[in-house]
């Protein structure tokens, strides 16, 4: 079975779940980035939970921890290639995987697209989540990591719609 049913009993393709998570991850992350860019100045921090959680506005011209910040072409080409590869793999394997595969793939690809959009349009990625003394990141990064976790769970534990039944 590769279909889900909505409340009225009509069948919905499982890829619908993938697209919902893909679009939601892009929209949520980009909405927050627009808010941060328009309402905060670079380097500003707003304390949400004193001493632990802050919104801090940074522009990251590299990848994690500003690594490779002087290599813009690479930072656009590699994520683009990974997004294409992940998308092809998703559509080739989706029928034999569980729903966590749809959700995880949607989150990974959506988060990757959100950060790639920033890199292409702004030449940097807007980061804003500041927890403790950890690096500052954004929700697209969180979506990518949650997606990877769900994909790992799917490959380890679920096959052939076991998690849909």
Query: In which order are the strands placed within the sheet that holds 45-49?
Result: 45-49, 53-60, 125-131
Token pair recorded at residue 51: 């001493």
Measured distance CA(115)–CA(103) in Å, rounded: 18
Determine phi and psi for 137, rounding to 5 degrees.
Answer: -145, -170
Active-site choice (29, 102, 118, 127): 127
Active site annotation includes 29: no
Active-site choice (118, 130, 141, 161): 141
Measured distance CA(128)–CA(149) in Å, rounded: 22
132, burial (CB in 10 Å: exposed 0-12, middle 13-18, buried 19+): exposed
Q: How many CA atoms lie within 13 A of 160 on its CB side?
A: 0
Helix axes 99-122, 72-93, angle to 10 degrees: 160
Active site annotation includes 130: no
Residues that are catalytic: 127, 141
């Amino acid at each position: 079975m590769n279909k889900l049913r909505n409340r009225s009993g009509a069948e919905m393709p499982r890829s619908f779940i993938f697209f919902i998570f893909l679009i939601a991850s892009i929209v949520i992350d980009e909405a927050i980035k627009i808010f941060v860019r328009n309402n905060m100045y670079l380097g500003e921090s707003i304390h949400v939970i004193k001493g632990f959680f802050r919104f801090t506005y940074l522009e990251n011209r590299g990848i994690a921890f500003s690594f490779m910040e002087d290599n813009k072409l690479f930072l656009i080409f590699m994520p683009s290639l990974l997004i294409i590869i992940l998308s092809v793999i998703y559509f080739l394997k989706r029928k034999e995987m569980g729903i966590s595969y749809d959700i995880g793939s949607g989150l990974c690809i959506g988060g990757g697209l959100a950060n790639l959009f920033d890199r292409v349009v702004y030449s940097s990625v807007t980061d804003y989540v500041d927890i403790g003394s950890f690096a500052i990141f954004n929700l697209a990064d969180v979506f990518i990591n949650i997606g990877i976790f769900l994909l790992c769970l799917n490959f380890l534990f679920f096959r052939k719609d076991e998690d849909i039944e």
